[in-house]
Amino acid sequence: MSKKKLLLISNSTMAGKPYLEWPKQFIADFLNKHKVKEVVFVPYAGVNLSDESLEESYNVYEQRVAAVYAELGFKLKSVHRSENPVELMRSAEAVAVGGGNTFHLVGKMHETGIMEVIKERVEAGMPFMGWSAGANVACPTLKTTNDMPIYEPGSFGALSLVPFQINPHYLDANPEGHGGETRQQRIEEFLAVNRGTKVVGLREASMLLVEGKTIKLLGSRNLRLFEFGKEAVEYVSGSDMSFLFNK
């Protein structure tokens, strides 16, 4: 019987709103339900040009997220401060994986050894939440990210906590004068090569709540589901998406 507890969020910020404001109540409800007091944060997607170093980027990211979690009554500490990231993850109550660059995130998760231990702990019941790149990393691979490959990870393989792929920040728009591929066309390219995989176009202001073998679409936007050789299908907020566990 599956013990998974996942909150997979498309985005952290909405235009005109503070950081993590829109999913804040969902995060609080998720952590309170599972009686979590302290969360271990994975900041490796945070790559900021304005910071003096990557270490400083992680520090700034940790502070930003910790401030929001403190408002909700939860403690947060970042894995980048630990001398033994694997052991920290082995003892964590819950994990949160922040958004940013998915290639850098996956690379560092493999290099530090936390990829395997997070997977092991989450499958045993540890609550997991991630937004943007942090939602993408819950999938089998990073191949449906929107990010530029600024870093070469040892593997594109991710956590495989769900059997489908997520495309966070999914956009329907095709700007006037734009001659490149739309997001849908990019996903269709992926499906042409990976024909047995489903891809969830997770629009901003939406998320997936996974509890065991059940999946529910939360938030205020529809989800778009892509499969090879089929028309894309829209699902409204509140939909039971548990069938996504069926291969």
Catalytic machinery residues = 132, 147, 169
Provide CB contacts within 8 A for 203, sequence distance 6+. Answer: 10, 169, 170, 171, 221, 222, 223, 224
DSSP codes joined into one string, 138-179: TSSBSTT--S---S--S-SB---SSSSEEEET------TT--
Structure tokens of 198? 């489903």
Contact 6, 34 (CB under 8 A): no
Other beta carbons within 10 Å of 184: 18
User: Strand 223-226 relative to strand 206-211: parallel, antiparallel, unpaired?
Assistant: unpaired
Q: Number of helices and strands (H, E) in the chain?
A: 7, 11
d(CA 164, CA 8): 12
Please give the Cα distance from 148 to 97 (Å, whole number).
19
The strand pairing partners of 226, in sequence order, are: 199
